[in-house]
Copies of this chain bind each other. A is one copy, B any other.
């Protein structure tokens, strides 16, 4: 049965996250309903991973198997038409080998986190960024980030509900840049623990405010204890940007 790779953009605001759950709106459910409507039979859409409630995506990837003889180009148009009432858009559809798996074939995941760092709250990015009023030191945040890059036990940045078998992960990239009041944090790893990016961002923000030194982040990492880390940054600043295969 032909398999298709789907590249997706969505605004996470109205959704209770990616994964289908009874009684709430999810991205997966909206997609599966659109495919079921097109195909005339139930469809399962497999994501590269879950995103939490309120988290956005500019490049989430999923796959779906379609028995009927549809072309990728036609699927994109037909599904986007059926998604007009929800903020989800199929950016690309391509036929892939049947052994491609959105989750298991992924070699890296890239997230971006946006902090709006200015005195005035945001009118245009209210559900798209974390508003932080206290001026942040980007130099301190970037220095702190270097302590987290590499292969580590990330227990101090792991949510208590995390289902991963091991807290060991390899963080390839954690960069901090600032441009006109916007702080952009990029993180890249083969995979992340639950809430890892948001917990790292919450910790870096404390460093940026001067509450903690950059070296403190090394101590937090070595403590391997979630109670030592910073708060979880809010969902609205997080974007799943790209999945690499």
Interface residue ranges, A against B (CB under 8 Å) = 8-11, 56, 58, 76, 80, 83-84, 87-92, 119-124, 126, 128
Evaluate contact between A121 and B11: CB separation under 8 angstroms. Answer: no
Contact of A84 among B80, B84, B89, B121 (CB under 8 A): B121
Shortest beta-carbon distance from A134 to chain B in Å:
14
Residues of B within 8 A of A56 (CB): 124
Shortest beta-carbon distance from A14 to chain B in Å:
11
- Name which residue of chain B comes closest to A127, CB basis: B87
Complex alpha-carbon distance, A123 and B27, angstroms: 12
| Interface contacts beyond A76-B119, A88-B123, A89-B123: sample of 5 additional A-B pairs, CB < 8 Å, sorted by A | A10-B124, A11-B124, A58-B124, A84-B121, A124-B128
Residues of B within 8 A of A84 (CB): 121
Evaluate contact between A91 and B76: CB separation under 8 angstroms. Answer: no
Shortest beta-carbon distance from A86 to chain B in Å:
8
Complex alpha-carbon distance, A181 and B34, angstroms: 26
Evaluate contact between A89 and B120: CB separation under 8 angstroms. Answer: yes
Complex alpha-carbon distance, A123 and B79, angstroms: 13
22 A-B contacts (beta carbon < 8 Å): A8-B123, A9-B123, A10-B124, A11-B123, A11-B126, A56-B124, A58-B124, A76-B120, A80-B120, A80-B121, A83-B121, A84-B121, A87-B123, A87-B124, A87-B126, A88-B123, A89-B120, A89-B121, A89-B122, A90-B120, A92-B120, A124-B128
Complex alpha-carbon distance, A58 and B56, angstroms: 23
Residues of B within 8 A of A80 (CB): 120-121
Shortest beta-carbon distance from A36 to chain B in Å:
20
Residues of B within 8 A of A124 (CB): 9-11, 56, 58, 87, 128
Residues of B within 8 A of A121 (CB): 80, 83-84, 89
- Name which residue of chain B comes closest to A118, CB basis: B91
In this complex, the member of A11, A56, A83, A123 whose beta carbon has the largest number of chain B beta carbons within 10 angstroms is: A123
Complex alpha-carbon distance, A124 and B128, angstroms: 9
Residues of B within 8 A of A128 (CB): 124
Residues of B within 8 A of A11 (CB): 123-124, 126
